[in-house]
């Protein structure tokens, strides 16, 4: 092996390490995005349930029409998802 071969191996190793590092960075970004999406889904579930409680209160105050329609749709949606009401 001459110095050109050794230099080529060093450059190739550096390139491989750089590519591996980029893959590791990409995986880290993906994991952060998955966590963010999970957090957003949990927040949306809480907001949906809060809206359902508000609709339930309006329905108990004898608000009809659109309130009843949205109450029924939201209730069915939550039941379909297996949520406790």
Q: What is the DSSP letter of 2?
A: -
Q: Rounded CA gap, 59 and 62, in Å?
A: 5
What pLDDT score was predicted for residue 31? 97
pLDDT in tens, 1-59: 787 877 788 888 888 899 999 999 999 999 999 999 999 999 999 999 999 999 999 99
Number of domains the chain contains: 1
What pLDDT score was predicted for residue 55? 96
Q: Does residue 64 fall inside a structural domain?
A: yes
Q: Does residue 85 fall inside a structural domain?
A: no
Q: Does residue 74 fall inside a structural domain?
A: yes
Q: Does residue 12 fall inside a structural domain?
A: yes
Q: Does residue 32 fall inside a structural domain?
A: yes
What pLDDT score was predicted for residue 79? 94
Q: Does residue 11 fall inside a structural domain?
A: yes
What pLDDT score was predicted for residue 16? 87
Residue range of the domain that includes 50: 3-80
Single pTM value for the model: 0.68
Q: What is the dihedral sign for C-alpha 53, 58, 64, 66?
A: negative
Angle (CA) 13-16-22 rounded to 5° is 140
Q: Rounded CA gap, 70 and 24, in Å?
A: 46
How deeply is 56 buried, as exposed, middle or buried, from its count of CB atoms within 10 A (0-12, 13-18, 19+)?
middle
Q: Does residue 76 fall inside a structural domain?
A: yes
């Amino acid at each position: 092996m001459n110095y050109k071969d050794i230099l080529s191996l060093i450059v190739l190793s550096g390139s491989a390490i750089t590519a591996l590092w980029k893959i590791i960075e990409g995986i880290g970004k993906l994991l952060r995005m998955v966590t963010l999406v999970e957090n957003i889904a949990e927040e949306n579930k809480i907001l949906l349930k809060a809206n359902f409680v508000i609709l339930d209160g309006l329905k108990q105050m004898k608000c009809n029409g659109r309130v009843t329609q949205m109450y029924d749709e939201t209730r069915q949606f939550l039941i379909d998802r297996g949520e406790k009401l």
